[in-house]
Amino acid sequence: MAIKNEDPKRSRSRLIGNIFLLIGVGLFIFNIFAPQLLSNQIPRVPYSLFIHQVQEDQVARAFIGQDQIRYQLRSSSPDRPGEVLSTTPIFDLNLPQLLEQHKVEFAAAPPQGNNWLGTLLSWIIPPLIFVGIFQLFNRSATPGGLQISKSKAKVYVQGDAPKVLFSDVAGVDEAKAELEEIVQFLKTPEKYTSIGARIPKGVLLVGPPGTGKTLLAKAVAGEAGVPFFSISGSEFVELFVGVGSARVRDLFEQAKKQAPCIVFIDELDAIGKSRTSGGFYGGNDEREQTLNQLLTEMDGFNADNTTVIVLAATNRPESLDPALLRPGRFDRQVLVDRPDKIGREAILKIHARKVALDPSVDLSVIAGRTSGFAGADLANLVNEAALLAARAGRSTVQMQDFSEAIERVVAGLEKKSRVLSEEEKKIVAYHEVGHAIVGALSPASGKVEKISIVPRGMAALGYTLQLPQEDRFLMSKEDMEAQIATLLGGRSAEEIVFGRITTGAANDLQRATDLAEKMVTTYGMSKVLGPLAYQQQQNGFLGVMSNQRFMSQKTAEMIDQEIKEIVERGHQRALEVLKLNRELLETMAQKLLESEVIEGESLQEFLSQIKRPEALVAA
C-alpha cells in the first residue's frame, strides 16, 4: 500500500517548532553553565591564603557571596589595578571583624546579571521540553516514526500480497456459506440497498483457536477484492489512558476513506469483555474507554452509507459485553468449529499441495485418525511429516511420516535420553499394556493403535495411542464409564502384577475423577442425585470465569460419594478384565520390554485374544 507524503505546511510548522525548541534548550543550558564558565576565568586560591593576605594588609576590598568570595589585592603602582582573586568561603563568624581590623572594604556580592533570564527560562523551558517530547512520540511522520494514537492496523490491498480465496479455506463450509452474502454485498451493494435491505455492520466469528477465523476474514476480502484492515484487540490498549479510543477513531477514519473495505479485529475479547464482570475500579479504565469508543463508531460509521464491514474473531463469546452483540453491531455470529472427517481431508489436501507426497499416502485415513484436530493442527501435522521425511533423507513424504507426526502432536517428542532402570521399565510396560487391554474393550475410547515405553513429552514414561475412528458428538453413560475404566487400567495392572502402586497413574486418576465429576454435576447421570446440574458458571475475582457449587453440605457430600463410587466401579471393572486376561497381560508386557513398541498387525493380533467378562458380554 502506498504511503502518503506529509503535508508541507505541517512539515514546516514542525521544523520551526523544533528550531525554537533547540534554541530554548541551548539558552537553558547556557544559563546553567555560563556563570560557572565566567567564574572559572578568575583565579581561585585556598581560603587560608585569603586570610593570610588579609592579615598582611594585602587585600583592598572584598565581595562576599554565599558560594564565592571575590577580592582585589592592593596595588603596588597607581597605574596598575590590583589582581582580582576568588576563594570558596567557609563558615567563619570572625571574618567581618578581621576585615574591619585590617581596613578592608567589604560588601555582599552583587546578584548575577543574567538571573532574570534564568528565572524566565526555568518557567518556560521545562514545559517546552515536555511538549517537544510528546510531539516526538505523537508525530504523524513516516512509518518509522512513533505514533501512539495512530491505529496499528495492517492494511492489505490488491497486489500487496497473494490473494486468499474461499478455495484456500476448507472444513468450514457452513461458515463460508454465511460469509458469501457479505462478499456479494461488497461486490454489488446496490442489489441489496435497492430493495431496502441492510447488511449487518458487524459479523462475529466464533470458534476454538486454530480453526481458521483470520483466514476466513482474509478470504472474504480476497473474494470481494476490497482493502482489508487487520488488527488485534490488544493493540488498542496502551499505557496512556485515551490512546485506545484514539486508535479506534483513527482506524475507522482510515476505513471510511478506503470504503468499501473490511475491518478485522482479532481477539475481540481483549477490549470487549463485559463491563459488569469487574476487575477494575474507578471510571478511568483504558479498556472500557476503548470499548465505548468502538460501540460509538459502530453506531455511526454507516450513517453516510459507507460500505465498511467489521469482522471480529473470538474464542470466548461468553465473556463479551452484551452491548457488542445487540442488533446494529455484531448482530450476526458465525460458528467456525473444528472440522469433521470430510473437512479434515479437504484441509489436508490444501496443505499437502506444498509437499511431495508418496503415492501410498491416503489422506482419508489420516483424516480419520485426527479427530478433534483444528485447521492449524492439520497444517502443523503436514509440516511435521515433511520435516521427518527430510530428516530421514527421503524425497517424498510417506505414510509412516504422518503416523510419527500424529504421535508427536498427540504425545510429544520422544525422550530417548531419559533412561529408565530395568525395574521402572518393567512397571511402565505392564502399566501401558493394562491401558491397552481394558481400552480395547471400550470402542468409544478409540482404537488402540500403538503401545510404547519410549518416554515422550514432559513427563510421559510411556503411552498407549488410542485414536478415534469416527467423529462423535455424544457420549452415553456407559461410554464414559468405560473410558474411566480404561484410564484406571494402568494402575490396576500394577496392583495385580506387583501388589503395589506408583506415582505413574497420577494423571490418569485426575482425568478419571474429572470425568466422573462431570457425569454427576453437569450431565445428570447419577441415579441418587437425579437429572440436575450442580455446577454453575459465575464471574469470579477480576472477571475470571470460575465454576462454583451452590448447594447444601449434605448435597456436596452426596456428590463426593457418587464420584467415588463411579471411579471405584471403573477400577473394579479394570481389575476384572485384567485378571481374566492375566496370561495375555504377561505375554504382551514381555514383548513390549523386548521391542519397546508394539503396533500394527502384531498389536491387533494380541488384542484379538482378549477375553471379555460375562458382565460386558451381557451388556
Helix (H, G, I), strand (E, B) or coil at 516: helix
**CATH T-level fold of 422-618:** Methane Monooxygenase Hydroxylase; Chain G, domain 1 (1.20.58)
pLDDT of residue 21: 62
Strand bridging mode 202-206 / 84-87: unpaired
DSSP single-letter state for residue 274: -
pLDDT of residue 238: 61
Annotated catalytic residue 432: yes
pLDDT tens readout for residues 309-333:
888 999 888 888 888 888 878 878 8
324, three cell numbers: 457488542
State the CATH class of domain 42-108.
alpha beta
At residue 101, does pLDDT exceed 60?
yes
Q: What would the mean pLDDT of 50-66 be, rounded to a whole number? A: 84
Rounded distance, CA 57 to CA 94, Å? 16
Alpha helix segments (H runs only) across 40-83:
47-55
Peptide bond into 35 cis (omega under 30): no
pLDDT tens readout for residues 273-284:
877 655 444 444
Torsion of CA 503, 506, 509, 510, to 10 degrees: 160
Handedness of CA 367, 371, 375, 380 (dihedral sign): negative
Check if the beta carbon of residue 109 is closer than 8 Å to that of residue 64.
Answer: yes
Chain-wide mean pLDDT for the chain?
79
pLDDT of residue 591: 93
Going from N- to C-terminal start, the domains of the chain cover 42-108, 154-335, 341-411, 422-618
Higher-confidence residue: 339 or 534? 339
Classify domain 341-411 by CATH number: 1.10.8.60
The sheet that has 84-87: what strands, in order across it? 84-87, 69-73, 59-64, 105-108
pLDDT of residue 143: 42
Check if the beta carbon of residue 206 is closer than 8 Å to that of residue 269.
Answer: no
pLDDT-derived band at 158 (thresholds 50, 70, 90) equals low
At residue 200, does pLDDT exceed 70?
yes
Cα 585 to Cα 381, 445, 462, 467, distances in angstroms: 33, 20, 16, 21
pLDDT-derived band at 489 (thresholds 50, 70, 90) equals very high
Q: Which helix (H) or strand (E) holds 599?
A: strand 597-599
Q: What would the mean pLDDT of 237-242 be, rounded to a whole number? A: 58
What is the number of residues in the chain? 619
120, three cell numbers: 524566565
pLDDT of residue 117: 56
Strand bridging mode 463-467 / 84-87: unpaired
Options 432, 494, 517, 562, the catalytic residue: 432
Half-sphere exposure (Cβ direction) of 225: Cα atoms closer than 13 Å: 3
DSSP single-letter state for residue 369: T
DSSP single-letter state for residue 229: E
Residue 203: beta bridge partners?
Answer: 311, 332
Q: What would the mean pLDDT of 86-113 be, rounded to a whole number? A: 78
At residue 11's C-alpha, the angle toward residues 8 and 14, to 5°, is 150
**CATH T-level fold of 154-335:** Rossmann fold (3.40.50)
Cα 373 to Cα 176, 327, 340, distances in angstroms: 19, 33, 9
Rounded distance, CA 278 to CA 280, Å? 6
pLDDT tens readout for residues 253-307:
888 888 788 888 888 888 888 776 554 444 446 677 788 888 887 776 555 556 7
CA-wise closest residue to 71 among 87, 57, 47 = 87
Alpha helix segments (H runs only) across 447-552:
477-487, 489-498, 506-521
At residue 4, does pLDDT exceed 80?
no
At residue 512, does pLDDT exceed 90?
yes
